[in-house]
Amino acid sequence: MQASNHLKICRTVLLDLKDTRVEYVISGESNTETILFVHGLGANASQFNGQHVYFHNKFKVISINLRGHGNSCTVHRSNNPESPFQKMGKDIVGLLYRLGIKHVHFVGNSMGGNVGYEVLRLAPERIKSFTTFGTTAQMKTSKFMLGLLLLSYKVLPLRYIAFLSKSAGQTAVSKERIEKMLIQSNKKTIMTLVPHLANFDYLDIVEETNVPVTILKGKLDKEINKVLGSTLTSFKKRGNFGMVVMKNAGHFANLDNPATFNAILENFILKINTR
C-alpha cells in the first residue's frame, strides 16, 4: 500500500548540474518548507519512500541519489583534492540552487550525515535544521581494519554483501528493504568510498555552526554508538542540540521504526518553525 502511495505522489528527476548528473525524488511540490533526505553508502533514495508518503501533505520532500548511487553520476578516483563527500555536498548545494530552494531541513543517514557536514561547511545558510541517524562526526579506523574491510568487499560478491548487510535491519520489512537497496548498489562506488568513511573528523564543523541539531540514536546501532562519544560531547558544548534514543531501531532507524521516526522528526521541525 505504501509503495503504491509513493508512486502516486512522487516524481523522479534527472538533473544535469555543472559537472555531474543528479537523480532525485520529489513530492509535495506546492509546499514551501522543504525536507531533504540523504541516504548512506550502498543505499538509495528509495530508503525514504515512507517519509515521502508521511510528510508530503505538509512539506516539499526531496530524497536524492548521491553520486555513484541510482542513476546519479558515478564516483571515481581522481587527482581532484576534494573528497567524494565534498563533491556530494556541492551536488546538493547546486541542486538546491537550481530548484530555487533557499534552505532545507536536512536529514542524513550514515554517510548522508557526512555529506550534511560538508554542506554545513560549504553553505550553512542552506540548512535550517540538521538531523542525523546512524552518523558520527568523527571516525578513526586502523589501517589493518580498513585493509580487512576493503579485502572483504573486494572478494565477496555483491549479492552476498547485500545479504550480510540486511542484518543491520531490525524487522523483516527493514531487512528486505536494506538487502534490495544493496543489491542495486555499485561495488566500485563502495570500494572508492569506504576509505573515506573509515577516517574523518567534522568536530570543527560542529563547533563553527549553530544550526539546530537532533541526533536520532538507534539503541541497536552498536557500531556507531561505540564511536558517538566525541560527537555528543562537542554538540553538548556548543548547545542548540538534542538527542533522542529510539529503542527498537538500529542503523536504518527510519526503516526499523518509521512511525516513531516520523513523529520525532516532525516534532523537531515544528519546534524550529515556531521559534
- What CATH number should be reported for the domain holding residue 247? 3.40.50.1820
* Domains of the chain: total: 1
pLDDT at 1: 42
Find the mean pLDDT for residues 19-34.
Answer: 95
Tens-digit pLDDT profile for residues 166-216: 999 999 999 999 999 999 999 999 999 999 999 999 999 999 999 999 999
Give domain status of residue 185, yes or no: no
Q: Percent of the chain beyond pLDDT 70?
A: 96
Give domain status of residue 160, yes or no: no
Q: Which helix (H) or strand (E) holds 162?
A: helix 158-165
Q: Is 40 in contact with 86 (CB distance < 8 Å)? A: no
Find the mean pLDDT for residues 63-85.
Answer: 84
Q: Cell match 534490495: residue? A: 180
Give domain status of residue 8, yes or no: yes
Give domain status of residue 167, yes or no: no
Cα distance between residue 145 and residue 36, in whole Å: 33
Tens-digit pLDDT profile for residues 99-128: 999 999 999 999 999 999 999 999 999 999
Provide the angle, in degrees to the nearest 10, between the axes of the packed helices 111-122 and 187-198.
70
Task: Return mean pLDDT, the chain.
Answer: 93
Give domain status of residue 178, yes or no: no
pLDDT at 20: 87
Q: Percent of the chain beyond pLDDT 90?
A: 87
Give domain status of residue 144, yes or no: no
| Residues contacting 106, CB < 8 A, separation 6+ | 36, 38, 116, 119, 127, 129, 130, 131
Cα distance between residue 232 and residue 217, in whole Å: 11
- Domain holding 261, by residue range, is 2-139+200-273
Q: Give the three cell numbers for residue 201.
A: 573528523
Give domain status of residue 264, yes or no: yes
pLDDT at 77: 59
pLDDT at 226: 95
pLDDT at 79: 64
How confident is residue 30, by pLDDT bands cut at 50, 70 and 90?
very high
Give domain status of residue 207, yes or no: yes
